[in-house]
Amino acid sequence: MPMNMTEKILAKAAGKDAVCAGDLISAEIDVIMCHDVTTPPAISMLKENGIDKVFDPERIVVTPDHFQPAKDIKSAELHKRLDKWAREKKIKHYYPIGKAGVCHALLPEQGHIRPGEVIVGGDSHTCTYGAFGAFSTGIGSTDLAAAIATGQLWFKVPESMKFVLNGTLPPGVYSKDVILAVIARIGTDGALYRAMEFTGSALGDMTMEARMTVTNMAIEAGAKNGIIGFDETTKQYLDEHLKDKTEYTVYDSDAEAEYVAVKEFDCSKLEPMVALPHLPSGGVPIGECSGKEMDQAYIGSCTNGRIEDLRIAAKIMQGKAVAIRTIVVPATPEIWKQMMDEGLGSIFYEAGCVVSAPTCGACLGGFMGILASDEKCVSTTNRNFVGRMGSPKSEVYLASPATAAASAIEGKLTDPRKFM
């Protein structure tokens, strides 16, 4: 029976020879990601039900990230509970404050993501890890509690859609522009509870960091997971980052595998994209919105806070000054150090940016970049819902690091190709 990558991984996890879309399965979980927002409620559920165990302390990865360093008493209490639990349960892979970072950048960087595995996390953007040929999806606190205790969860095998990214990206166009264009075409429910499988020559030219941006935003089209096949780029990244467990199984989609839809994109014709408020599906070419004045630029998050993103922004900002409030947030301590070692921090400082320690804060309207009423922000994050970054009367415009950097310099939405 022909199967695609998602089906093959779920079949293996369920101990079956084959599965098909719509099947209900019980799957073994390989890795669980826990952070400071959804894990404390899961811990409470376990205690309330008299469950005082974790299924495997070596297969749970814990990091505070959304409100770290703690922004107030409530977030400090969340961190205290997470820290106490991680130490009591002897969680092997615990990244406390000082080593903590944005979870979806930290786990691949620290070698916790492998092809062919089932990975879940109490965060909707856990679909990021599908860039490595894994099945990865976000879950709520209740399912998180069940997974922590048993190492298993039930799933409905999703239908799959294939997205063929043809051509070569033009100068000034990046993977963020690609995924914004994809979501603009199919809408925020265009892949509802489906697997989004990405392939094509444009994808083959992308780094792993760029690919993670694509799968990170699969949830913004309603997808259960995003997934990309294994190739030499994947292998090279894993060779550099895997530490404890270096073996893994690669699954490819069969040529005869069925898809409910196949969408093709000529990426060579793409322009820099901006998602207008208030949905990620509001993507338009920069030419249709350039000149709109901004109050803030934000460069960071699990979507675009990696070293590649910071290099892109710094190249545009070098020798220039920003015209608006601009916040730069490296996603992990290692990225922060690399940024400083490469001199990018100095470029951002000279340009007049605020550079933060790793945190998810501003992306979800927590702290480190809250918007006031009527303020407008060009952001490299993944969501621009009403009130996402602060006041419900503010506006968020999603863009690539290049577009955000160019817009910061001009103080208005600006085509980054102007600086190239």
Digit-coded pLDDT (tens) for 76-109: 999 999 999 999 999 999 999 999 999 999 999 9
Q: Are residues 195 and 291 in the same domain?
A: no
Q: Are residues 183 and 68 in the same domain?
A: yes
The mean pLDDT of the chain is 96
Confirm if 200 and 165 have CB atoms less than 8 A apart. Answer: yes
Model confidence pLDDT, tens digit, residues 220-233: 999 999 999 999 99
- Number of domains, the chain: 2
Can you tell me whether residue 78 is helix, strand or coil? helix
Query: Quick count: other Cβ atoms within 10 Å of Cβ 319?
Result: 8
Q: Are residues 42 and 64 in the same domain?
A: yes
Residue 244 above 90 pLDDT? Answer: no
Q: Are residues 151 and 18 in the same domain?
A: yes
Can you tell me whether residue 154 is helix, strand or coil? strand
Q: How far is 249 from 116, CA to CA, in rounded Å?
A: 5
**Domain end (from 265, 296, 320):** 265
355: phi then psi, degrees, rounded to nearest 5: -110, 125
252 in any annotated domain: no
From the list 111, 152, 139, the residue with the least C-alpha distance to 39 is 139
**Domain end (from 200, 234, 265):** 265
Q: Which domain holds residue 321?
A: 274-419
**What band does 309 get if pLDDT is binned at 50, 70 and 90?**
very high
pTM of the predicted structure, to 2 decimals: 0.94
Bridge partners (DSSP) listed for residue 255: none
From the list 172, 233, 230, 183, the residue with the least C-alpha distance to 205 is 233
Q: Are residues 83 and 186 in the same domain?
A: yes
Q: Are residues 348 and 366 in the same domain?
A: yes
